Copies of this chain bind each other. A is one copy, B any other.
Amino acid sequence: MSNEGNSTSGCPLPLSDYPRILLAHGGGGELMHRLIEDLFIPSFANGELNERHDGAVLNIGGARLAFTTDSYVVKPLFFPGGDIGTLAVYGTVNDLAMCGAKPVCLSAGFILEEGVPMDTLRRVVDSMRGAARASGVRLVTGDTKVVDRGSGDGMFITTAGIGTVAEGVAVSPSKVRIGDVVLLSGDIGRHGIAIMAKREGLAFETAIESDCAPLHGIAGDLLAAGIGIRCMRDLTRGGLASAAIEIAETAGVCIALEAGAIPVREDVRGACELLGFDPLYVANEGRFIAFVSPGDADRALAVMRAAGPDDAHPARIGRVEEGRPRSVVLTNMVGTRRVISRLSGEQLPRIC
């Protein structure tokens, strides 16, 4: 973890104190937050960006649509449980699903480095085709650029996606309110550990595969069941902790989480200890949290269990309570409560 510009308090350094981009500006922690808040949102000021959501929900030509984009720079390109192609499709499908949208179509922009094997590209394109089929989306438009050797790193992919949002569906951080229950769709940390293990050449007794998967099915089932969903957020860069902090700040609420209720597989926990990571901050690519009205929590959990993977183990992990607004409080196994903060440096560069 970089110590440059370390800041663990609630009083971060302004963006202007960083004359150059650091890895942490893309890490999902404090510096990325500052980049978004101090540069992007003021520059492009509009209602959609102000929602600070995984995508924009807007009316275009009489249709209610969600629109989102993500660039993928994962290293290595292939990892246990997926590759940059599955990630590029599922990641964008999931951002649409988190907006309460039914994903419809994707675009893909490839930035290839001169010299990358054609078979590598073929394998990635095959993965994208399979992932698109599994997600029920069509890849309808694209672009390819090639950069000279040494100016890239094999392959970067940027996908954008459009989905339809049904009338009456309003899923967004600003809808979260006191009393809401926080549900987690499954155990955390597999994606980040799968990538780090592959990158570092670590071997574990049981193979840890990325949880990379589409979430539109579970999210769609929750909506179809008439669950009162306030907000959903997938737990990518920065993991569960960062997602919860973002939502607490946007909604202006206090989110209380129970460490003991958060499922982490034993092998993932062991790998985290070995690598010095806190699973709360490790990236996932097939997990999300949902904020639901208290009366719907049990039913929502049942839907998550029925619609999600068998080995995911969804759980109720906390609730929104009276307390210091814009904070996330974690109660640990022995009952001690502490406020958790954003990552100040970059723990897992190029995780997605």
Binding site for B on A (CB under 8 A): 15-16, 18-27, 32, 35-36, 39-40, 43-44, 46, 48-49, 55-56, 58, 60-65, 67-73, 75, 104-105, 107-119, 121-122, 125-126, 128-129, 132, 138-148, 150-153, 156, 158, 160, 162, 164, 346, 349-350
Q: How close is A99's CB to chain B, nearest CB, in angstroms?
A: 10
Taking a contact as CB atoms under 8 Å apart, the answer to whether B68 and A141 are in contact is yes
Q: Of the candidates B22, B70, B107, B116, which one forms a contact with A68 in the assembled complex, judged by CB atoms under 8 Å apart?
A: B107
Complex-state Cα separation, A141 to B53, whole angstroms: 9
Taking a contact as CB atoms under 8 Å apart, the answer to whether B115 and A20 are in contact is yes
Taking a contact as CB atoms under 8 Å apart, the answer to whether A18 and B118 are in contact is yes
List 24 A-B pairs, Cβ < 8 Å.
A20-B115, A21-B115, A21-B117, A23-B146, A26-B146, A27-B146, A36-B144, A39-B121, A39-B122, A43-B128, A44-B132, A44-B139, A46-B139, A56-B105, A60-B105, A63-B63, A70-B109, A71-B145, A73-B147, A109-B160, A143-B158, A147-B153, A148-B349, A158-B158
Q: Of the candidates B67, B72, B146, which one forms a contact with A22 in the assembled complex, judged by CB atoms under 8 Å apart?
A: B146
Q: Of the candidates B49, B128, B145, which one forms a contact with A26 in the assembled complex, judged by CB atoms under 8 Å apart?
A: B145
Complex-state Cα separation, A145 to B237, whole angstroms: 10
Q: Which residue of B lies closest to A15 (CB)?
A: B118
Q: A35-B144, A56-B107, A69-B142 are in contact. List 4 more A-B contacts (CB 8 A).
A: A44-B129, A69-B108, A73-B151, A146-B349
**Chain B residues with CB below 8 A from A350, complex form:** 145, 147-148
Interface of A is mostly: mixed
Stoichiometry, as copies per complex, reads: 2
Taking a contact as CB atoms under 8 Å apart, the answer to whether A112 and B69 are in contact is no
Residue in A46, A142, A158 with the greatest tally of chain B CB atoms within 10 Å: A158
Q: How close is A113's CB to chain B, nearest CB, in angstroms?
A: 7
Complex-state Cα separation, A59 to B204, whole angstroms: 48
**Chain B residues with CB below 8 A from A153, complex form:** 147, 151-152
Complex-state Cα separation, A152 to B111, whole angstroms: 10
Taking a contact as CB atoms under 8 Å apart, the answer to whether B21 and A112 are in contact is yes
Top-5 shortest CB links A-B: A26-B146, A61-B63, A160-B160, A158-B158, A63-B63
Q: Of the candidates B67, B104, B126, B156, which one forms a contact with A107 in the assembled complex, judged by CB atoms under 8 Å apart?
A: B67
Q: Which residue of B lies closest to A99 (CB)?
A: B141
